């Protein structure tokens, strides 16, 4: 199904200020945000939730690794490419760490590995993590507060991942080097 990818000129009025802000921030309007503009409340909610994630106790790298883990678990080609790009190009994350998340392999850093594993389990089990899953996360140095913050990250990525599944969002040129394909059922 084709969804319109709006820009700051042709979007519904309520979406225009958010797309204008995205263009100022990124230098272009990412296709996902252009699609969200179809429903301005979704666009606004997504951007506000994304801003709130910056207030968690996670470092920017940890935030992005958890976001990437959710996107990989949800088999989202668009978000997986974006967050791989952010990790490598903006946060200078070791390529082996990013590729480990993308491939479902253990990470070389034990604490980051616990973060990614817990995030994967929370998505896979739809929040019904076992005591062992939570204990492994806590034992690595994270807190119960962090476990709740993972739910916030999952909520954010569920909005975008599901939109990408619905709209088959085309990958922006800026993220093409990190393109990933998933087998579809």
The predicted pLDDT at position 185 comes to 53
In a domain, 101, yes or no: yes
The reported pTM is 0.94
Q: Could you tell me where the DSSP H helices lie in the chain? A: 16-26, 31-36, 40-53, 60-73, 77-85, 95-103, 110-124, 131-139, 144-167
DSSP string, 35-68: HHTTSHHHHHHHHHHHHHHTTSSS-HHHHHHHHH
Same domain, residue pair 103 and 134: yes
18-33 pLDDT tens trace: 999 999 988 999 999 9
Report the number of distinct structural domains present in the chain.
2
CA 39 distance to own-chain centroid? 19
Residues 88 and 37 in one domain: no
Helical axes 60-73 vs 77-85, angle rounded to 10°: 160
Spell out the residues 6+ positions from residue 29 whose beta carbon is closer than 8 angstroms to its own: 6, 7, 8, 19, 22, 23
Cα(95)–Cα(84) distance, integer angstroms: 9
Instruction: Return d(Cα 14, Cα 100) in angstroms, integer.
Output: 40
Q: How far apart, in whole angstroms, are the C-alpha atoms of residue 135 and residue 133?
A: 6
In a domain, 8, yes or no: no
106 and 145 part of one domain: yes
Residue 4 lies in a domain: no
Are both 78 and 122 inside the same structural domain? yes
Same-domain status, 144 and 72: yes
Residue 88 tokens, joined = 């490598």
In a domain, 98, yes or no: yes
Question: Based on the domain organization, do 96 and 141 belong to the same domain?
Answer: yes
* Residue 84 and residue 35 share a domain: no
The stretches in the chain having pLDDT less than 70 are 1, 184-185
By three-state DSSP, how is residue 126 classified?
coil
Would you say residue 184 lies in a domain?
A: no
Looking at the fold, whether 45 and 129 belong to one and the same domain comes out as no
137 and 168 co-located in one domain: yes
Same domain, 34 and 118: no
- Shared domain for 32 and 89, answered yes or no, is no
80 and 107 fall within a common domain: yes
Q: What is the pLDDT of residue 183?
A: 80
Q: Which domain holds residue 35?
A: 16-53
9 part of a folded domain: no
| Residue 3, domain member (yes or no) | no
């Amino acid at each position: 199904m084709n969804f319109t990818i709006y820009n700051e000129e042709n979007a519904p009025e309520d979406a225009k200020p958010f797309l204008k802000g995205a263009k100022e921030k990124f230098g272009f309007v990412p296709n996902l945000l252009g699609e969200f503009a179809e429903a301005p409340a979704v666009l606004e909610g997504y951007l506000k939730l994304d801003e709130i994630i910056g207030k968690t106790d996670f470092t920017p790298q940890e935030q992005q690794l958890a976001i990437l883990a959710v996107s990989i678990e949800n088999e989202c080609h668009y978000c997986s490419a974006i967050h791989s790009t952010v990790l490598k190009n903006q946060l200078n994350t070791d390529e082996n760490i990013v590729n480990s998340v993308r491939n479902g392999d253990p990470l070389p850093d034990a604490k980051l590995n616990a973060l990614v594993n817990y995030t994967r389990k929370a998505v896979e089990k739809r929040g019904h993590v076992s005591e062992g899953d939570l204990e492994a996360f806590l034992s690595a140095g994270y807190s119960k507060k962090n476990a709740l913050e993972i739910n916030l990250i999952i909520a954010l990525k569920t909005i975008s991942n599901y939109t990408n599944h619905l709209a088959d969002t085309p990958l922006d040129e800026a993220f093409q080097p990190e393109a990933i394909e998933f087998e579809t059922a």
